[in-house]
Amino acid sequence: MIKNGDTTAAAVSAFVCGNDAAPWMQLLDVTDECTDGMKQALLESIPFAPILDNATDPICAFAKRYPTAAIDLWTSLLLFNHNLSNTSEVRNWVLHVMNLTGVLAALSPPRGDRRQGEALLQACAMSMRSERRRHIAKRLHAFAVALADLLQLHVPPPATTPQSDDIIAHLDLLARHRGQHATKALVAAVAFLHKWPQSNAPKDDPRVVHRIKLLACLHPELFQSILNHWLGLGYISRHEFDHRLRHGPILEDILMCTAAHPIRWRLEASMMQWPVAKSSSSVDVVAPCRYITWTASDALSDAVLDDVLAELTLVAAHCPAYALAPVVLAAWALVLHVSDIPTQLEPTLRLFWTAFLRPVVAVDHSPALIAVLSLVVESRMGAWDVWAVCSHVLAHAIVFAAKLYDDAAPSTTQQRVAATLLQSLLAQCAVSVLVAVEKKKFLLPVEARAILETRLRR
């Protein structure tokens, strides 16, 4: 076996400095356990990498083989500080790799190590205090919130948890039968206060808060009226009404547009049809459709877009299955809106893939997986010209779908959906864009690799 420190350091140096991952992949193949030398070599080399993107694929392979050691590495890198290292870029890269490797899924109970999760959460909190770049601090905060919610959902339930579950079920019932209540918001608001007179869950419980914020966008005629009545009855304050229980104006506008757009119903119909029809290829793919559901005349500034993306990440994390269509379309609308600005397009595309295809929700019969499949395949996303300006994002998307395929049990819906996503993207993309994928072909399933090689030979 190859375990000596010199070989390990040379393999790490090869992909960090020379973009040559072959020695590292060979080392992973012949090493049964993650050694202290591997951890030390990675921690000493990655913060000083000239181009961090060169380390992405080798580190993803490392995380797949040694998930527990990888989480310890993320914690150490978030806390790393050296005057010769660009710590902000290192933290930004760590967040990107954690999304790609599904660290939330690895930490989710019962298989996750709660102590590792708490250590990573503490590292996020400490790095936020010293992070000078605002958009990276926001990304750290968004990830920390998602991780905290994940850990809180599985602690021994406090006394308020059953009540919070009842409140969420009650709100969902109002949303499903809103036709009966659309003109009776005052009745619904007063009935809620009579049923839970002492409850602070709508103001304090993150799950209830996010559900109210989402429903206020999807069904404003009912839930925004309920919030107005709660304000008038003194149950909530003006600050809670404006900020705590409502999304920002831009995201609220996007969600209200997608919730009322006819394409939402088409997407929901496709989501019902794909699980039963895709295996026999009986779904008709229409002409390319851009699904334009929200239009705004003004471009978004980088700071505003960062705020919207951070909000949308939390919406996706708390979204119930029945609201997936408008929420996925909201991410789609942002992709289309910033498609002419490469610096904004890249983080928006990354959010679309990682927020809705993250392994924590990518289980068999996952509605999020089906929603993304319907959008990508039916709109022929692979043929879009947006990939010409950020082909490496497409490469990461394809690798992400390949990971979903590998993680799925054989002959499950998840595996078939991931295979369909891969085939659609590889078959529709321009050959010039697929060159960026060629370096990652060793991560693809056999069938997808054959499609890629056939297209590159043409």
Q: What is the mean pLDDT of residues 230-243?
A: 89
Query: 211 pLDDT exceeds 60?
Result: yes
Residue extents of the structural domains in the chain: 5-152, 161-246, 264-457
Q: How confident is the model at residue 38 (pLDDT cuts 50, 70, 90)?
A: confident
What is the 3 state secondary structure string of 171-226?
HHHHHHCHHHHCCCHHHHHHHHHHHCCCCCHHHHCHHHHHHHHHHHHHCHHHHHHH
Residue 256 sits at the vertex; the CA angle it makes with 288 and 306, to the nearest 5 degrees, is 80
Query: 435 pLDDT exceeds 50?
Result: yes
In DSSP notation, 87-153 reads: HHHHHHHHHHHHHHHTHHHHHSTTTS-HHHHHHHHHHHHHHHHH---HHHHHHHHHHHHHHHHHHHT
Q: What is the mean pLDDT of residues 257-262?
A: 86
* Count of helices and strands (H, E) across the chain: 26, 0
Among the ranges given (31-40, 46-55, 188-197, 228-237), the one the predictor scored with the smallest mean pLDDT: 31-40
Q: What is the mean pLDDT of residues 185-196?
A: 87
Residue 69 sits at the vertex; the CA angle it makes with 4 and 446, to the nearest 5 degrees, is 85
> CA-to-CA distance for 13 and 22, rounded, in angstroms?
12
Strands (E), 352-413: none
Among the ranges given (175-184, 188-197, 319-328), the one the predictor scored with the smallest mean pLDDT: 175-184
- DSSP annotation of 233 reads T
Q: How confident is the model at residue 3 (pLDDT cuts 50, 70, 90)?
A: very low
| Per-residue pLDDT, 358 | 57
> CA-to-CA distance for 324 and 268, rounded, in angstroms?
9
Q: What is the mean pLDDT of residues 22-49?
A: 86
CA distances (Å), origin 343, targets 85, 348, 390, 395: 23, 9, 9, 17
pLDDT digit string, tens, across residues 94-131: 999 998 888 887 887 766 788 888 889 888 888 887 88
Count of CB atoms situated within 10 Å of the CB of 437: 25
Give the three-state DSSP class for 81.
coil
CA distances (Å), origin 284, targets 70, 99, 276, 291, 303: 42, 32, 13, 17, 40
CA distances (Å), origin 121, targets 83, 126, 160, 242: 24, 9, 24, 29
For residue 322, the number of C-alpha atoms closer than 13 Å in the C-beta half-sphere is 11
Q: What is the mean pLDDT of residues 198-223?
A: 88
| Per-residue pLDDT, 112 | 74
- Quote the pTM value: 0.62
Instruction: Using the Cα atoms of residue 80, residue 86, residue 91 and residue 93 in order, give the sign of their dihedral.
Output: negative
| Per-residue pLDDT, 361 | 41
Q: Which of 425, 197, 276, 239 is nearest to 231 (CA)?
A: 239
Mean pLDDT of the chain: 81
Q: What is the mean pLDDT of residues 165-169?
A: 88
Give the tokens for residue 61: 């392979």
Q: What is the mean pLDDT of residues 12-20?
A: 86
Contact 206, 149 (CB under 8 A): yes
Q: How confident is the model at residue 360 (pLDDT cuts 50, 70, 90)?
A: very low
Count of CB atoms situated within 10 Å of the CB of 258: 25
